């Protein structure tokens, strides 16, 4: 017999989860003790939301299962935002929250998480795929297995279990639950898709973050090359297709390129939409003049298909990679090098000593200096939309951004968890000063747990998207400019990190190069702050 906490820890280890994220509290302390016994590192985050973000990044990069824990009451409510972000990003992860004790339910208790207090199970239901209270120790296996099945089946996402302190220490027969391997169904309409591709005169591929979720990079490439289809990406689909591919048009929507808009202006007869809800951020600037004659929409579920671009639509429901694999399985492989252009080296002018850098120049310097395999986690803000427009992709799967839920600060935690899950990967966080104000203390977590992420902070002293949006609407901004701006370099130094503050392209290039030396030699994260023009207009003004 073993305690429920030990059984949980044994399962974590069996899944290959070597780190869990959270903040200690009595209600969840048995889990922390148990994971220590199984040599699983408990990562002390600075806020439960940051713990949830890190667990999601861990899951995304490891393709295993991230785990975040929070104590009862506020420890649980602080994880709600992270759950919402993971659900929007289709990331499977397990959130466990505590409760003082089932035997005292109905009595007045501090941080009560039951139906008599802060009912965490009900709160988590809208932002997870499954949320339940384990009310008896002998039910733990059944509930855990059901949670895993929900997390990995269909549209992947987070799940939540509330487990009381007395149940965690109760002994049961040990068990191991395997991570499920979903059985992916193939759409019966795929032959119809091939027929439409064969006769299309001006087709267009529009890729969303579902291509990231399904890791369908090769299948998308082969589809595009075989039928010679130009490719554009949504903001969330950034990083799914190489920028230096001859068929790449770059992004559309917020942060979109001239090339993608020009191709649409000339008419499209068949648009193949893959893995996107076609949100307002993805179709900003998409007028009825751009409407194709027909849409083929690949996605896991029907909900948003045919409701944004109202033209005849063929829905292909199911796992994107499985369905695309079926289409390209018998195609002759073309030589990819025929489609690849040389790596672009951006040219730019130096700014005057009394001027700040533009964000466009900043992103071009970053691209020139970072290695091709750098994996970017773009936080939510205009800084990442500049990245969507100007940062070239040379390796698919090297840029992640959420254009649906949009929790500021999530990229910080995601990058930390990703680096812990894959120490050999080159992880970079593209973040703004507003996001750093919200969850910047997590960079201390990166330092303390040897997660050498490069944090690139674009600082213009304001919530840029909001500030510029207000000016567009009413001619002024209210409450969107920081009276005392952040000094991100000093902020980082106060927590023991190495940092740089840059005002021109030369300083930025040198700072990134020095940061890589520090990260390699000291196994520590580094913050590079870039002072950017506070008056420039971000590429987000097309949103209605």
Q: Give 3-state DSSP helix, strand, coil % of the chain, rounded to 5.
A: 40, 20, 45
Q: At 424, list the tokens.
A: 């050999």
Q: Whole-angstrom Cα distance, residue 20 to residue 40? A: 7
Which residue bears the tokens 């384990």? 134
Closest CA to 90 of 275, 306, 219: 275
Q: Whole-angstrom Cα distance, residue 300 to residue 361? A: 38
Q: At 465, list the tokens.
A: 């998207």
CB 260 within 8 A of CB 235: no
> DSSP character for 18?
-
Q: Whole-angstrom Cα distance, residue 385 to residue 465? A: 10
Q: Whole-angstrom Cα distance, residue 82 to residue 128? A: 10
Strands (E), 409-479: 427-432, 454-459
Walk along the chain (544 residues) and give the pLDDT tens digit of each residue: 999 999 999 999 999 999 999 999 999 999 999 999 999 999 999 999 999 999 999 999 987 899 999 998 999 999 999 999 999 999 999 999 998 776 766 555 556 666 766 899 999 999 999 999 998 999 999 999 999 999 998 889 999 999 999 999 999 999 999 999 877 778 898 999 999 999 999 999 999 999 999 999 999 999 999 999 999 999 999 999 999 999 999 999 888 899 999 999 999 999 999 999 998 888 888 889 899 999 999 998 888 888 889 999 999 998 999 999 999 987 777 666 689 999 888 888 888 888 999 999 999 999 999 999 999 999 999 999 999 999 999 999 999 999 889 899 999 999 999 999 999 999 999 999 999 999 999 999 999 999 999 999 999 998 888 888 888 889 888 999 999 999 999 999 999 999 999 999 999 999 999 999 999 999 999 999 999 999 998 887 755 4
Q: Whole-angstrom Cα distance, residue 535 to residue 277? A: 32
Q: How many CB atoms lie within 10 A of CB 543?
A: 15
Q: Whole-angstrom Cα distance, residue 125 to residue 93? A: 14
Which element (helix H / strand E) includes 157? Answer: none
* Domains of the chain and CATH, by start: 2-172 (3.40.50.970), 191-339 (3.40.50.1220), 359-531 (3.40.50.970)
């Amino acid at each position: 017999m073993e305690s429920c906490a030990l059984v949980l820890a044994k399962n974590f280890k069996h899944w290959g989860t070597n780190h869990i994220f959270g903040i200690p509290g009595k209600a969840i302390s048995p889990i922390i003790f148990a994971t220590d016994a199984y040599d699983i590192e408990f990562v002390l985050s600075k806020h439960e939301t940051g713990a949830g973000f890190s667990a999601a990044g861990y899951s995304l990069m490891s393709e295993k299962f991230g785990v975040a824990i929070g104590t009862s009451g506020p420890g649980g409510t602080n994880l709600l935002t992270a759950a919402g972000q993971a659900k929007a990003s289709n990331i499977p992860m397990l959130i466990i929250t505590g409760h003082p004790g089932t035997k005292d339910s109905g009595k007045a208790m501090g941080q009560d998480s039951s139906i008599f207090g802060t009912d965490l199970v009900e709160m988590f239901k809208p932002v997870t795929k499954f949320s339940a209270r384990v009310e008896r120790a002998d039910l733990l296996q059944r509930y855990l297995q059901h949670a895993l099945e929900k997390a990995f089946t269909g549209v992947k996402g987070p799940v939540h279990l509330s487990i009381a302190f007395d149940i965690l220490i109760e002994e049961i027969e040990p068990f191991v639950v395997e991570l499920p391997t979903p059985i992916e169904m193939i759409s019966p309409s795929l032959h119809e898709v091939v027929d439409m591709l064969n006769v299309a005169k001006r087709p267009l591929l529009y890729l969303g973050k579902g291509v990231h979720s399904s890791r369908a990079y090769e299948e998308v490439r082969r589809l595009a090359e075989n039928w010679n289809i130009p490719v554009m990406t949504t903001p969330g689909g950034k990083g799914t297709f190489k920028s230096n591919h001859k068929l790449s048009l770059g992004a559309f929507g917020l942060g979109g390129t001239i090339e993608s808009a020009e191709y649409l202006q000339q008419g499209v007869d068949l648009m193949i939409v893959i893995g996107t809800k076609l949100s307002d951020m993805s179709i900003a600037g998409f007028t009825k003049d751009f409407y194709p004659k027909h849409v083929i929409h690949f996605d896991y579920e029907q909900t948003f298909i045919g409701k944004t671009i109202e033209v005849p639509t063929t829905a292909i429901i199911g796992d994107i990679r499985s369905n695309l694999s079926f289409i390209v399985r018998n195609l002759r492989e073309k030589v990819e090098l025929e489609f690849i252009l040389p790596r672009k080296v951006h040219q730019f002018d130096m700014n005057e000593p009394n001027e700040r850098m533009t964000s466009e120049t900043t992103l071009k310097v970053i691209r020139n200096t970072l290695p091709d395999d750098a994996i970017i986690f773009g936080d939510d803000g205009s800084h990442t939309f500049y990245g969507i427009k100007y940062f070239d992709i040379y390796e698919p799967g090297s840029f992640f951004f959420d254009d649906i839920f949009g929790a500021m600060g999530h990229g910080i935690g995601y990058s930390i968890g990703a680096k812990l899950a894959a120490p050999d990967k080159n992880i970079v966080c593209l973040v703004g000063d507003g996001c750093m104000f919200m969850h910047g203390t997590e960079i201390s977590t990166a330092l303390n747990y040897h997660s050498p992420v490069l944090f690139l902070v674009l600082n213009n002293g304001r919530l840029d998207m909001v500030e510029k949006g207000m000016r567009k609407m009413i001619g002024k901004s209210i409450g969107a400019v920081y009276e005392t701006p952040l000094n991100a370099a000093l902020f980082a130094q106060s927590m023991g990190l190495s940092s740089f503050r840059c005002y021109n392209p030369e300083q930025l290039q040198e700072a990134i190069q020095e940061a890589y030396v520090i990260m390699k030699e000291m196994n520590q994260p580094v913050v590079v702050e870039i002072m950017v023009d506070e008056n420039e207009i971000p590429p987000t003004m097309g949103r209605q």
